[in-house]
Structure 1
């Protein structure tokens, strides 16, 4: 499988770097933090925006690299992860550790130049993901709850970077992305159930692909929808939403809910994969609607 990768040296180094830092995931996290920044800022400062993008990328890259060092033996057991740089033998643990450490220093250092609170939340995110979420994944489904904390920080982190303040507004952004992660990750845990089982990972809330898990996907999708429309009522300080934007956000939420109910009805891996794909589109759409609404209101 990895023969074609190793025949060309330079692309292999680049692809290994992208894989160890999970570039696509890191870029989606950066998108969240930039959306949060645009929501919180009075006047856009492109220098801060750039610092936040790089700081956020390094922060997520560090977490992912540490995660792959810790899970290298388990990654080798799963089809999804066996070709990652460390289990595939493309990268040594020492090299990965150097990348992870360098990214941690760069990430926290860059975020610190924005403000101290942003750096603090960045550091908390790396710590929880690496030292709590990663070890818990093989022990209990509660790992998903723990992992949802660093996963929800980026959207809120952008607001803190813009305002140097943590209040109801970033708290709401945090809650939105926090609740969203459960149907998203449980959908992944469902369609990759057999592969996760090989690595000994407990990702589903009941531990099984059953109605209980599907019901929880529906419940957390409803919580996500409720939090997403709260800003229209004026309870959330400067974080506001017009009626038109609220309707669009609600429709996006109902779209995701339709696929969560679809999983409950069908109980198939295909339905879980559809829910996962829709959940990714949903969170991106909501963040775009929030930002566009702010600037055209």
Structure 2
């Protein structure tokens, strides 16, 4: 007779919070808020708060479902081994119910409080991250983060749609900016944690194609990202404040990416250029999106 599996103690609230990936959620909420604030329609503060709440909850749902599905590979990666599921602090079924519940709640509330367009894009973003990136792409192709990066690019579209009920060229450019920013941002991280991915059997680009190809791809993706980042200014969608900030910050991003792209050896330096690019890339997105909001306010 097979012994029954040991019962896990009730999960702590901090474990449920950890399932939502709060650090990732911060950038999601920020870019969505910026998309909302630069829209030509001003939302009532209560509706604006509700929209941001829905986006945050939806991001938490996607994070929870991602960890539910990937608990096996999280267990063999150093940076994820202490998450609630691989660490044995939570039952997988609880994580699944939590993620589904958050997702359904966020989409319904967005549709009832704001509009159907925003709710539809919100639902697509959750499904894209969970089904397209997590389930279909991540374990099958080194292009996982390229295609899957679209999931993280939806928030500015959702923020704009929440305010206006429709889309326009500016939020589409913001979507493309995050979409093209994701590969150099994530591959910079993958270069110095590639052993983790290799141990987990995840075909990240540095694992299957090597460091040289990954570095080249970081450089190549930075080129269209730079054009898209600066584009709102010459297209008349943003003013000189955004133009100046986007040129300066994107130029620095390009220099860091170039430094990573041309490297031929990593012996003895602990991947310092790669870590510098990864850390700056996060700050970069915060500054560029913030500059767009400031530019709109001073216009």
- TM-score, normalised by the number of residues in structure 2: 0.90
- 1:280 and 2:271 equivalent? no
- The separation in 2 between residues aligned to 1:31 and 1:225, in whole angstroms, is 20
- The separation in 2 between residues aligned to 1:72 and 1:195, in whole angstroms, is 14
- The separation in 2 between residues aligned to 1:244 and 1:119, in whole angstroms, is 32
Over the aligned positions, Cα root-mean-square deviation in angstroms equals: 1.8
Runs of 4+ aligned residues of structure 1 deviating over 3 Å after TM superposition are 265-268
- The separation in 1 between residues aligned to 2:207 and 2:97, in whole angstroms, is 38
Who is 1:91 aligned against?
A: 90
Who is 2:5 aligned against?
A: none
Instruction: State the SS of the aligned residue for 2:83.
Output: coil
Instruction: Give the deviation of 1:185 after TM superposition.
Output: 1.0
Q: Does the CA-based 8 Å contact 2:197-2:207 persist in structure 1?
A: no
Q: Does the CA-based 8 Å contact 1:179-1:224 persist in structure 2?
A: yes
Who is 2:6 aligned against?
A: none
Instruction: Give the deviation of 1:145 after TM superposition.
Output: 2.0
Who is 1:168 aligned against?
A: 169
Q: Which moved more, 1:67-76 or 1:204-213?
A: 204-213
Deviations 1:211-269 (A, max 9, x none): 2211221121221111111111236xxxx221242121111001111111121233543
Q: Which moved more, 1:45-54 or 1:287-296?
A: 45-54
Who is 1:137 aligned against?
A: 138
Instruction: Give the deviation of 1:190 after TM superposition.
Output: 1.1
- The separation in 1 between residues aligned to 2:13 and 2:27, in whole angstroms, is 19
After superposition, where does 1:118-137 map in structure 2 within 5 Å?
118-135=118-135, 136-137=137-138
- Give 1 or 2: higher helix fraction: 1
- The separation in 2 between residues aligned to 1:209 and 1:274, in whole angstroms, is 20
- The separation in 2 between residues aligned to 1:206 and 1:101, in whole angstroms, is 32
Which residues of structure 1 form unaligned runs of 5+? Answer: 1-8
Who is 1:78 aligned against?
A: 77
- The separation in 2 between residues aligned to 1:42 and 1:134, in whole angstroms, is 35
- The separation in 1 between residues aligned to 2:127 and 2:228, in whole angstroms, is 27
- The separation in 2 between residues aligned to 1:15 and 1:273, in whole angstroms, is 28
- TM-score, normalised by the number of residues in structure 1: 0.90
Instruction: Give the deviation of 1:48 after TM superposition.
Output: 2.1
Q: Which moved more, 1:287-296 or 1:131-140?
A: 131-140
